[in-house]
Structure 1
Amino acid sequence: MVNQSGRGVLTANPTETVSGYQRRIVFHIHFWALIAVAPLIPIQWAQDHALLSLLLGVFCLGMVLVLLFLRLRDYYLFNGWLFAVFAIASVLYSTLINGYIGLFWAYPAIAAIFFLMALRRAIGINAVFVVAVATVSYYRFPEAEFWRITFSLALSVVFVTIFAWLVGRMQAELTKLATTDPLTGCLNRSQLADVLNRHIQLRERYERVASLVLIDLDHFKSINDRWGHTTGDRVLQEAARRLDRRLRECDQLFRVGGEEFMVILPETRQKTAEDLARELLITLSSAPFLEDVPITASAGVTEVVRGETWSTWLNRADQALYTAKHTGRGRVIGVRGQDAAMPAAGDTRIAG
């Protein structure tokens, strides 16, 4: 069962970890772009390119704002739009007046846009970027150079698109591996604290209720001892499938221990959650597993109350489950926040 301290639920959230790395990428791209672009402002001004100098100055000011918001508020200001617009405008105008010197900046700008924006948006913006640079190049350079420039920029977009797509796929796969139990396909404990906290916040701010159901398979050790661990694993997989088939799309099913599952039920009152828990236990015990393995389960149910922490909510469900396991098993025990001292009041026996 989940112990009184929350037993391992405080592991880092993989989604938050990925988001943190994305913020670092955004920060470093803006920081080093600022270092590279800022010296060009006085250089272009000295060459009487006042408009380009002004463009670069606004570009740098925007990057400073992005860096400050990231550092002080952990907020991604402009979501890459300012960088994309001013980078493209500066490259186009610089290419028009400076020739190849301006064109050289197009290649790092293309790569940076892919790191700063969502993939589809970056593809669209860079497609417009390539067309715009090709148009300027057509009028600015000989025809042979125009074709070389156009194809090299297009290939850069293609290569970086492939790289960004593969990195995105790998990130999604790694996040799934980190948040999903490999045996049953249920969610694992890595996100549990954040999910519970989110429902507590919804309760505090909007009076939106949620209930928690802890389910533990009875005498599971005897299954492993009698039929072996392979059979035990198959029983867990089938139990997860039976539970999942009975749940709504908005419900979340976790595997939080060896033979213990947790169901988070949004917008669900205590009484409704207890009724559902009974149905889940019946679903588990109504037919033998693997044709000849009988299963019963016990459940603890509780609704979130205002002013409590996620660990208090979780521990109350754990206490209810503990009572169910030690008063005969195969039953549902419901505990309300204000009735925590009297867990037996919600005792419902499920025939096994």
Structure 2
Amino acid sequence: MDKEQPLPRAYRHLSLYAALLIAAFALLSGLQGQWLPALVALVLMLIAGAHYRLTRDHELVRGRPLVRLATLLMLVMSWAVLSGHLTVMLAWLFVLPLLVSMVWSLTPAAVLSTVFMVMIGIMSNQGALGAERHQLLPMLGLTIVLTGLFVFLREYKTAQLAPLRRTDALTLASTQDTLKHDLDKEISRSEREGTALSVVSLAMDVPDADQPTLPRADREAMIHRIGRLLHQRLRDFDSYYRLEGAGFFLLLPVTDTASAANLTETLRQEACKLMQSHDLPLTLSAGIAGLNVGDDSDSLRQKTRDALARARRRGGNQVESYSEASP
């Protein structure tokens, strides 16, 4: 399944520019008494505006299905246009391929674009559009090809830059690939300078079997918000890393275990309040470990995992510090 990635800033702003231009067109059409083009332009403006809002703030994307439904309705409308009805809307067909690529992930967008091309192929043998079809249909095909090229270049750029990215675009957290190197460096510094070092594994608790499964889009939106919370609350020399699933690893130099526990509990409570404000039945637990003689990066990470597992065994929604004496 394709995972929807946050869009580049310039690409997200394209939605805003499109919304403004379409709004101007809708106003102009309304002033000229062309109500049908004005109505369609208004729908497109709402789609572009909603898309910009969703991608800008990473809101809980319960509104995204409505945006996608609008693109499906436009696809149905395009059949009516190609059949010779609503010919006043011919110009809007050129927007549809790009719009589909903006609000759908790669595979559904490819399927919908293929359906659109099949529709064009079927109607190319019909005479509903008259002589206009000899110019319109090749231009629509070219629009789809150019949109496909644009999407290919976007995906290619994303794939090329992925190995170079040190931060997760969704949460601003450092990537897991850099964790071992950074942790080894902080362990060496702590041992050399004789300062404390604490690490934390912070993760969402697994919902009970009787609780409804949270949609993946809502879950990732909350991960984004928790990441931004960590970005705001941690010190400049602290680090946090995105782990697989719904978790983070915190690296806290010059911090003893007790101070790390107090900080983590504060962060956990703020994150839980954040989730409750969105009516999401989720809680967080955390496992903490402090650097001891003989520890390395692997042993420290394992200690936080053990402490986190113990917190979850005890009911979750709490912070546990690692202790070899505890089961």
Question: Greater Rg, structure 1 or structure 2?
Answer: 1
State the TM-score, normalizing by the size of structure 2. Answer: 0.47
State the TM-score, normalizing by the size of structure 1. Answer: 0.45
